[in-house]
Amino acid sequence: MANPVNERTWIVDNLFVNSSLTLGAGGTALNFVFGATTLTAPLSLPSGTAAAPSLTFTGDTSTGLFRNAANDVRITTGGTTRLAITSSAITVTGSTTLVVENDLQISGRLVFAAAASKIVPGATSISLRNNADTADNLLITDAGNATIRNNLVVSGTGPHAIGGATAAATQINIQGAFTATGGAGNAFGLEFGSSIIVQANQDAALFDIDGTLVEAGSGTHGTFSGIRLNIQETLAAAAVTDFAAIRVLAGSALDAGVTTASGIKINAPTGATNNFALWVAAGTSRLDGVLALGTSTITNAVAGQAVMLGVAFASLPAAVDGTLTYCNNCAPASAVDQTCAGASTGSLAFRVNGAWKCIS
């Protein structure tokens, strides 16, 4: 049915379109009055804009649907784009808040494309839970504190950091100025307060270092250390009367089945030209207790004394000069040169000029 230009056509019954129907051409509009309208071909609209969408509503013409570009359809309210749907993404734009009133099921990954902040009323910012209960598996509060309900697994080899930036040559870097609170007592940078439930036939340690220092293919290394301590103290008004880089406390009473216990037990390394279990490189060494050399029998010994394991005259080794030991059956063979001889009640023996000398 043809109509003159700028005239109106009123449809009071069903409209069946067997070809395409174009709306808005020349600024005209189509007004449906009664009944239903069935389209059997595409309904073609102009692209429109955010301010003037092509599909809109009477009395609110800045709200509706428009085509921004090829494969890009957008929803606008108040002349501003709120939701963009393209062939690759659905985007909530601007300052629009997406509110999900029921469950949101995500079959793929949840990816944050850019850094963003989210303010959540109350004490909890993000809480991740499982389906079995209502406990928080991961809880991140507004203050930035994170609580993990069960095990923490960090699969990356580092570098990692706590309290500061990562360092390229440090696997775990703990930095920052930590202010200890809580009044009188102890303050620790790192504390192990757990109880290890040891099973049968297991060795146990609260802190175990079992790594390997691997030399580079070339170059010279200054030092290799299993543990390196460089403890500094900043003096303040409060006096510190006792400072120790390493302090070993006796701990609680041990099980009755323990026959030998020690604060520190050291085995010497092997493979070097000189192997030492303990090397005091400089300074003065102080021992206030009993020094037991080669023996665990220290009956009646008092602080500041040394107890040596006795060795028989026949077993005195060809030691280097300056060696001191206790010979349990030695005595000076001669009062002139005090060379050690056997078959006596015992004496201290010194290695001097390649020979053992005894003190009567």
Task: Report the alpha-carbon distance of residue 359 to residue 54 in Å, rounded.
Answer: 115
Query: For residue 144, which amino acid is it?
Result: G
On the 0-12 / 13-18 / 19+ scale of CB atoms within 10 A, 76 is buried
CB within 8 Å of 114: residues ≥ 6 apart? none
Task: Report the alpha-carbon distance of residue 155 to residue 195 in Å, rounded.
Answer: 25
Listed in sequence order, the DSSP H helices in the chain are none
pTM of this structure: 0.56
DSSP string, 126-143: EEEE-SS-S-EEEEEETT
Question: 93: closest CA among 79, 101, 78, 83?
Answer: 83
State pLDDT tens for residues 15-49: 665 655 555 555 555 555 445 667 677 878 899 99
State pLDDT tens for residues 54-78: 999 988 999 999 999 999 999 999 9
At 1 the pLDDT is: 47
At 192 the pLDDT is: 81
Backbone phi, then psi, for 74, in 5-degree steps? -135, 150
Specify whether the CB–CB gap between 18 and 40 falls below 8 A. Answer: yes
Token output for 327: 């010979």
In this structure, how many other beta carbons lie within 10 angstroms of the beta carbon of residue 356? 23
Which residues of the chain have a pLDDT value below 50?
1-2, 33-34, 117-121
Domain boundaries, the chain: 9-44, 45-95, 289-360
Backbone phi, then psi, for 174, in 5-degree steps? -105, 115
Token output for 75: 């929803």
Token output for 67: 């085509």
State pLDDT tens for residues 247-283: 888 777 777 788 888 888 888 889 899 999 999 989 9
- The length of the chain is 360
Backbone phi, then psi, for 81, in 5-degree steps? -65, 130
Task: Report the alpha-carbon distance of residue 295 to residue 288 in Å, rounded.
Answer: 18
On the 0-12 / 13-18 / 19+ scale of CB atoms within 10 A, 41 is exposed
CB within 8 Å of 61: residues ≥ 6 apart? 52, 53
CB within 8 Å of 200: residues ≥ 6 apart? none
At 120 the pLDDT is: 47
At 5 the pLDDT is: 53
